[in-house]
Structure 1
Amino acid sequence: MKENAAERGSTRLWYDKPATAWPQGLPVGNGRIGAVVMAAPDREVWNLTESTYWSGRADEGVPAATGGKAALAAIRERLFAGDYAGGDRLAKQALQPPKPNFGTHLAMCDVVIEFAGSGEETDVGGPGGPGGFAPARSGEPGRTGMSGGSFAPFRRELDLATALLTATAGPPGSTLVRELFASHADDVLVSRIGSEAAGGVSFTLAIAGLTPEFAVSAEGDAALEFRGRATETVHSDGTCGVMCRGRIELETRGGSIRVQNGRLVVTGADEACIYLAVATDYRSESRAWERAARLQTALALSKGYERLRASHLADYEPLFRRVSIDLGFSRAADLPTDQRMQLLRKEGGSDPQLFALFLQYGRYLTLAGSREDSPLPLHLQGVWNDGEACRMGWSCDYHLDVNTEMNYYPTEAVHLGESQLPLMRYLEDLARAGRKTARDAYGSPGWVAHVFSNVWGFTEPGWDTSWGLNVTGGLWLAMQMIEHYRYGLDRAFLEKQAYPVLREAALFFLDYMTVHPKYGWLVTGPSNSPENHFYPGRPEEGHWQLSMGPTLDQVLVRELFTFCLEAAELLEGDVDLRERLVSAISILPPLQVGQKGQLQEWLEDFEEAQPEHRHLSHLFALYPAHQITPEETPELAAAARVTLENRMQQDELEDIEFTAALFGLFFARLRDGDRALKHISHLVGELCFDNLFSYSKAGIAGAETNIFVIDGNFGGTAVIAEMLLQSRPGGEIRLLPALPAAWPTGRVTGLRAKGNAEVDLAWEAGRLTTAMIRTHSPGTFTLCLGDRRIAFEAETGGEYRFDGALARQ
């Protein structure tokens, strides 16, 4: 079937220039193995990662936070009295334990391929490891080793619809064609290199390790094996981490293969295929992992490239094609992706299909990084790693105060709910680990986790109370269990996974929370509003972070208690717990409007010490929760808008990827499509590298360079989906709630709505023309379009079509 211009503009990243550094490389992944591929005419580098390749360990012998009830009461007494300095001092004594081997995710190695022109052999000796190449990272210019004329013209492309990455170099008749994919079906990274000219494929392949413990050895004439260990000295003591073993096998049609100086050398072949597999000892209970890569490449060789490619497409394409999107004609759709981004910066929203591309890229990255059987969920950089966060005070870990959550914000809506399952399993592990922290730190039952975590079960407060006592970090992440259930209505998931985890979280907060002596409200604390500061009085008296009952905590606890009450009633159990929840809900603090008309971030109407701050955690009530809506709580919606306006007016606004996404999400929920588009345009045009990976700017939160952080990709995907479709528990589906003027005509198919439904939409001249609702569970649904609302009863397997006035067709 011939591809139309709209599909071409929304499913392909392509470039006519080489990737000179990591931020230009294109990502592939199979849910466990990842690679950023830096392709140039005469060189290709695969920056290889694997999701479990972490430094650090579980430090069970290190003293934990040992606050307990008595210490907690003493801290709270100080905070209730307004002695924030005294409360912080006591909290540091009781709730700030050492953390010597937290660890971080690390990149594993670079696979370096050097191509020869006109059949001559290449020489890759020199600095940078066996391949003689030290690929540039985010802040470096890099080099590609281009040789010029014999390789021109050049094109590299990532087809999101097939997850195939291609690069072509050279004139007609002798063009070198390279194709690469990461197979989830066969768990291997696969590449085929062919030439239009007989015998035109000649290259050397070497492996350069990126961790101190790394070794490469030749295995026969056509294979390299490598082994390494994920060690570093910034986030751990340099002695502990996950071990890996990997293998690369080559096969050719024609020509020859030999080993020279630890490299594989291919000369005069018509075609060459490369098969790469890797395994680690993470959670391994035997030594079988040591043989896994060898067995995997042997199996790949036995199948051959064409069968592997066919299996890859059969596995991937049905998932990707669940959603299609056309946002209208783009005259720039046929331009290289980096040029489209440049035009967006100059001209604003004149390339609607670039936003369709961004949504589909987010879906692609989800499938590349988080499949149903992935061993771990997406971390700060998905499954990839530019190396920048690892060498600084940052860590490539699981931040629990918006970053990891945002990675999964769009997943259900864009019809990839299975990709949340690794996160669901991680939450079960987090809950088990968090029981000890709940007991030791607070003397409470249930479980708790704070501002970040790792793969070793870390749930304690962070390094400093100023930002590390976000007591609802684990609960925030656990909200994704609620989302997964509300979209799919899977009772087995609710009963066996979600409710047990959420019930224990509820038990913790019911025991841990206390009644405020002044207001009579049930509050958390000591806790942060991530990662912000406030003035309790005059600015000259100092700013603080710990308080009782910050708004985010109360919003999350309300979501938790309300859902657990509903789930217990549905599952017909926990009668005593239901009574406790009803009583607790009745005395939770309300959302409040401050003197400046803003939504209060803290229980008291404190002045922000950093009004330019990047976090907007208290607006969780607006998105992803529905505690604030323009229709039902107009005063609170107006206060949320004031909060956003105040933040945007700051000259020193901390302008980073997830903040831009949050602005877009909040304005979409406020039904302001043009403002939402402004912020998603800023994200795509100003806060993404050429490869469309989002980044956090240098100078913010201690960042020394622009650092790749993937949450902006997923947050931006969620914004675009929210602009077109919003849904609430109880079957409410809002159509085109924030359609901007710049997208007057378009269509989208396959978006998901809460209540286990799919939605297709089409619109012209800014008005809905048709809507199709496919329901997979019975129930009452309410369609909303502007001020119009209609309800209908649906059955399992039903299809319901409506016109632009919501009349049934």
Structure 2
Amino acid sequence: MRYTLLLIFLLLAVRPLAAQTDSRHRFHFTEPACVWEEQLPLGNGRIGLMSDGRPTDETITLNEISMWSGSPQETANPVARESLPEIRRLLFAGEYRKAEQLVYQTFVCGGAGSNHGQGANAPYGAYQLFGRLHLKHRGISPEVTDYVRSLDIDSATAETRFRSGGVLYTRRYYTSFADDVAVVELTASRNGTLSFDMEWSRPENARYYADSIAGVVIEGALPDGQGGAGVRYRGEARIFLPDGGSVTCRDAAVELRGATRAYIIIALATSFGGNDEQETVRHLMHDAVTHRPLAELWRAHTTAFDKQFGQSATIRLGTHPNEQLPIPERLRLFHQNGDDFALPALYYKYGLYLLASSTRVGGLPPNLQGLWAHQTQTPWNGDYHLNINLQMNYWPAESGNLSHLHTTLADWTLAQVESGRRTARDFYGADGWVTHILGNVWQFTAPGEHPSWGATNTSAAWLCQHLYRHYLYSQDTTYLRSVYPAMREAARFFADVLVTDPRSSWLVTAPTTSPENAYISPSGDVVHVAAGSTMDNQIIRELFDNTLSTARTLSVTDALLGTLAVKRHLLMPTTIAADGRIMEWLEPYEEVEPHHRHVSHLYALYPGNQISTEHTPDLATAARKTLEVRGDDGTSWSMAWKICFWARLGDGDRAWSLLSRLLRPATVRGMSYEGYGSGTLPNLFSAHPPFQIDGNLGGAAGIMEMLVQSEAGHVELLPALPSDWSASGSVSHAKVVGNALISFTWKEGRITDFTLRASAPYRHKLLARRGLDSLNFHVMGTGSANREGDYWVFDLHFGDVIRAIDSSRIP
């Protein structure tokens, strides 16, 4: 028996419990896309591609992550700083309406700000469509058969296949992770039957021409919002024919005739950051077509993509016959029956795919739409909303084993610090740095143009949570040292601006809001602006704690640290009102919208961890009641947040109910969102509405949160397992705090096997429940495994592996 056990453990040590790829990570349509939200998204973190897949008149929409109009702008407003003492006096005197009116008049950015979400031609700018490539196919009847459009997540490849006139046409699309170009491969099953015309279009600020060398070209400059030209851009699409055919140029189009196979190589670039867009395109195109044979482009792409994505976390929840159905029908039947558990497993992997496709190391973060846009004026400017939306985009990164992508948020955050220092000085007369709700690529850190949402000033502190969170999962002290100054300076700002509320003696932020809700003041006024909010207290307390912890880890000594330690204890604690709910403000005011989509005052439950069922059971009970009153409806990102809340509370069935709501089918016709509006669009994009990627990424984080949690000081498996999922399932390559990967399977709600692979020295505590109390753990390496009360404790070193298997599985 000893030899049998040894053999089993040796075999398992070299082979993960769950397969690294899953053929079910794909979905398809059986007709062309009627609207953009039915198209299949591809991206390599910089360039994006979506095709409508029409057999005859095909449109390919292309994006580039830095395609931003606008420019840096002067946002200082001297009146704001001058009015600050009076605003605070009015708030502390209970004259809330007067205080808000003064804030509205004075405490706003200089200039137009985001231009109320219409910033494409303002200095603030907007993320924009790059351009559209049109393929007018010749010799294909509009009446086709055997039509399929599909997306394979594991290879980041889309495909369109159909028959017309006895010919099988196949089109394969990908945005190469190896060569940084977009590629469309077209083939026909009969020689010489592939013919099309190709040209660019864009609604504005573009010119096009055809060139015998460059193919079809699009170029132009976006408005800087101040009367001049801003970011320049250039795109080239060239046709390569390995098996014959002819190409001619005519005006702004290229005509292909009589081919059997064709490659369209598309290179895009902008001048953002001082880049030479023309030279970049030239080099990209040259390298793509000379470094390897054209037939090897796709293999190089899939190999490079697998290196980044192949070890990302995977969830399996069984199989279902509906996996073979077109995705719109599958969504409809899921909403009707709710028994296709493989769909949420696909949705999870799709969320990780969207993150890996819309950002990359050294690039920009995913914006409100990731990197996909089909407009020049994207909704809300396609910018970075910092009162939850940008941060939510990164919630699945660490646990999903895509930690390297988290650094793009760190880089963007560090780039805001200098502007944030000016804003702190100009608006508050304070040291340190601050940013508010709006963010773009031009380092906009000032309050927004409307204080009901623009006055919240804890966004930098929230961003710093992500700086620290990446360290928790990576244990990289070199990285931590690089971000500590930004954390310290954000904490320094609040050490300067916190003031004492004379009514309660607590330190508070003033003015502020509870995004984006309003309250009814004692005089009956509807007011947004307040002195202090529960979310502010929770975020600032967390910032001070994380800054102090970082200083200890790095052996930093600093007089500011003592100030932070003192002021941290003077912040108002999270408080339970007489009705049993968490108070949203410093006083138990009645909220104007009891079912508001934001639940900001539960930040400490998620993504923070100051509220837990284990350590603060009274607050956890109050959080539960808060959620009950808030209700389950909301926009898609709001439902995603609530999934995370209920998972942290250990209520898997309620989290599953919210996830089912998130997966409700939403459809688009023109500009009208039908069905349930908020929910899931036919291509699995999340509908706010309109499409916002945070619902996808927050939903993915919530699904993993139901199965693995590790941020409360220990690891817990299946902490919020829904009853419907209890029969069987598996998780592979989930990352936990301490830089370790966990894989496990379960049957009838009990863990049957388990692996932990350490990538850093760390002491892991694993809660011994769900069958883990009866497993025998074995260490392969120099570490140790011991039982301490309710926990298994693993003291591990780099490369150590912990394995456990249910002995009942051994023959």
Report 1:545-584 matches (<5 A): 545-584=528-567
Inter-CA distance 501–63: structure 2 relative to 1 (3 Å threshold): closer
CA distance in 2, matches of 1:588, 1:351: 47
Aligned to 2:668: none
Matched, 1:117 2:139: yes
Residues 763 and 769 in structure 1, CA contact (< 8 A), matched pair in contact too: yes
| Match of residue 532 from structure 1 | 517
C-alpha separation between the residues in 2 aligned to 1:716 and 1:806?
Answer: 35
Question: How far apart are the structure 2 equivalents of 1:379 and 1:739?
Answer: 31
Cross-structure match for 2:168:
175
2:623 equivalent to 1:610: no
- Tell me whether 1:728 sits opposite 2:740 in the alignment: no
Give 1:659's match in structure 2, choosing from 632, 638, 642.
638
For the 8 Å contact 1:446–1:505, the answer to whether it is kept is yes
1:637-786 superposed matches below 5 A: 637-648=620-631, 655-686=634-665, 687-697=679-689, 707-728=690-711, 730=713, 732-743=714-725, 744-786=727-769
How big is the shift at 1:806?
14
TM-aligned CA distance change 1:524 to 1:806, over 3 Å: farther
> Which position in structure 2 is the counterpart of 1:289?
277
- Per the alignment, do residues 667 and 9 of structure 1 end up closer, same or farther by CA in structure 2, a change over 3 Å counting? farther
Deviations 1:431-455 (A, max 9, x none): 1210000000000011000011111
Q: Kindly tell me: are residues 344 and 190 of structure 1, through their superposed partners in 2, closer, same or farther at Cα, counting changes over 3 Å?
A: same
The code of the aligned residue for 1:569 comes to R
* Inter-CA distance 665–183: structure 2 relative to 1 (3 Å threshold): same
Pairing of 1:263-342 with structure 2 (within 5 A): 263-284=253-274, 288-302=276-290, 303-322=292-311, 323-342=313-332
The 8 Å contact of residues 6 and 328 in structure 1, kept in 2 or not, is answered as no
Q: Deviations over 1:373-392 (max 9, x none)?
A: 32x1111101111439x266
Contact 2:177 2:302 (8 Å CA) reproduced: no
What are the residue-to-residue correspondences of 1:402-441 with 2, within 5 Å?
402-441=388-427
Q: Is 1:55 equivalent to 2:55 in the alignment?
A: no
Distance 1:797 1:499 in 2: 28
What is the CA deviation profile of residues 572-599 of structure 1, one whole-angstrom value per residue up to 9, with x for unaligned ones?
A: 1233122112111221211101122111
Is 1:226 aligned with 2:226?
no
Q: TM-score, normalising length from structure 2?
A: 0.89
When the two structures are aligned, how many residues end up with a matched partner? Answer: 746
Please say if residues 369 and 693 of structure 2, whose CA atoms lie closer than 8 Å, have aligned partners that are also in contact: yes
Aligned to 2:569: 586
1:521 aligns with 2:506: yes
Pair 1:7–1:42, CA change in 2 (3 A): farther
Please say if 1:373 is aligned against 2:373. no
Name the % identity: 34
Q: Which deviates more, 331-340 or 782-791?
A: 782-791
**What per-residue deviation string (whole Å, max 9, x for no partner) do you get for residues 375-416 of structure 1?**
x1111101111439x266x22100001110111111111000
Query: Residue 199 of structure 2 aligns to a residue in which SS?
Result: strand
Letter aligned with residue 375 of structure 2: G
CA shift, 1:483, in A, is: 1.1
**Structure 1 gaps, min length 5:** 119-145, 698-706
Is the CA contact (8 Å cut-off) linking 1:158 and 1:166 kept in structure 2?
A: yes
Structure-2 separation of matches of 1:648 and 1:413 = 27
Q: Aligned Cα RMSD in Å?
A: 2.2
Correspondence for 2:491 among 500, 506, 512: 506
Q: Secondary structure at the match of 1:579?
A: helix
Counterparts of 2:808 and 2:453, CA distance in 1: 48
CA distance in structure 2 between the aligned counterparts of 1:219 and 1:313, rounded to whole angstroms: 31
C-alpha displacement at 1:117, in angstroms?
Answer: 2.7
CA contact (8 A) 1:736 1:785 kept: no
- The residue number in structure 1 matching 2:244 is 254
The answer to whether the Cα contact below 8 Å between 1:737 and 1:785 also exists between their aligned partners in 2 is no
Shift of 1:8: 5.6
Q: Which amino acid aligns with 1:526?
A: P
Aligned counterpart for 1:103 among listed residues 91, 105, 125 = 125
| 2: CA distance, partners of 1:591 / 1:220 | 67
User: Hey, what does 2:787 align to over in structure 1?
Assistant: none
Instruction: Give unmatched runs, 5+ long, in structure 2.
Output: 1-17, 113-122, 666-678, 771-789
Whether the 8 Å CA contact 1:729–1:755 is kept in 2: the answer is no
Q: Do structure 1's residue 799 and structure 2's residue 801 form an aligned pair?
A: yes
- Contact 1:380/1:404 (CA < 8 Å) preserved in 2? yes
Deviations 1:354-382 (A, max 9, x none): 111111111111111111132x1111101
Q: 1:7 to 1:294 in 2, by over 3 A?
A: closer
Pairwise CA distance, 1:549: 1.4
The equivalent residue for 1:387 is 375
Aligned: 1:147 with 2:142 = yes
Q: Report the Cα offset of residue 729 of structure 1.
A: 5.6
Asked if structure 2 preserves the Cα contact closer than 8 Å seen for 1:192 and 1:305, the reply is no
> In structure 1, what is the Cα distance between the partners aligned to 2:456 and 2:622?
24
Quote the residue 1:195 is aligned against: 188
- SS of the aligned residue for 1:40 comes to coil
Cα shift at 1:237: 5.9
Structure 1's 624 and 173: CA in aligned 2 closer, same or farther, altered over 3 A?
Answer: same
Return the letter of the residue paired with 2:504. Answer: Y
Give the aligned residue type for 1:85: R
C-alpha contact (below 8 Å) 1:66/1:440 kept by paired residues:
no
- Of 487-496 and 761-770, deviating more is 761-770
Q: Post-superposition shift, 1:171?
A: 5.8
Local SS of the residue matching 2:663:
helix
Is the Cα contact below 8 Å between 2:210 and 2:251 reproduced in 1? no
Residue 222 of structure 1 and its aligned partner are, at CA, apart by 6.6
Give TM-score, length-normalised by structure 1. Answer: 0.89
Partner of 1:314, secondary structure, is helix
Given the alignment of the two structures, is residue 85 of structure 1 paired with residue 97 of structure 2, yes or no?
yes
| Matching residue's letter, 2:195 | S
Structure 2 residue 465 is the aligned partner of structure 1 residue 479: yes
Could you tell me how far apart the structure 1 residues matched to 2:353 and 2:386 are?
23
Letter in 2 for 1:795: H
Q: Which residue of 2 aligns with 1:129?
A: none
SS in structure 2 at match of 1:242 = strand
Provide the C-alpha distance between the structure 2 equivalents of 1:590 and 1:480, rounded to a whole number of angstroms: 22
Bigger shift: residues 79-88 or 771-780: 771-780
User: Could you tell me how far apart the structure 2 residues matched to 1:805 and 1:680 are?
Assistant: 35
For 1:124, the equivalent position in structure 2 comes to none
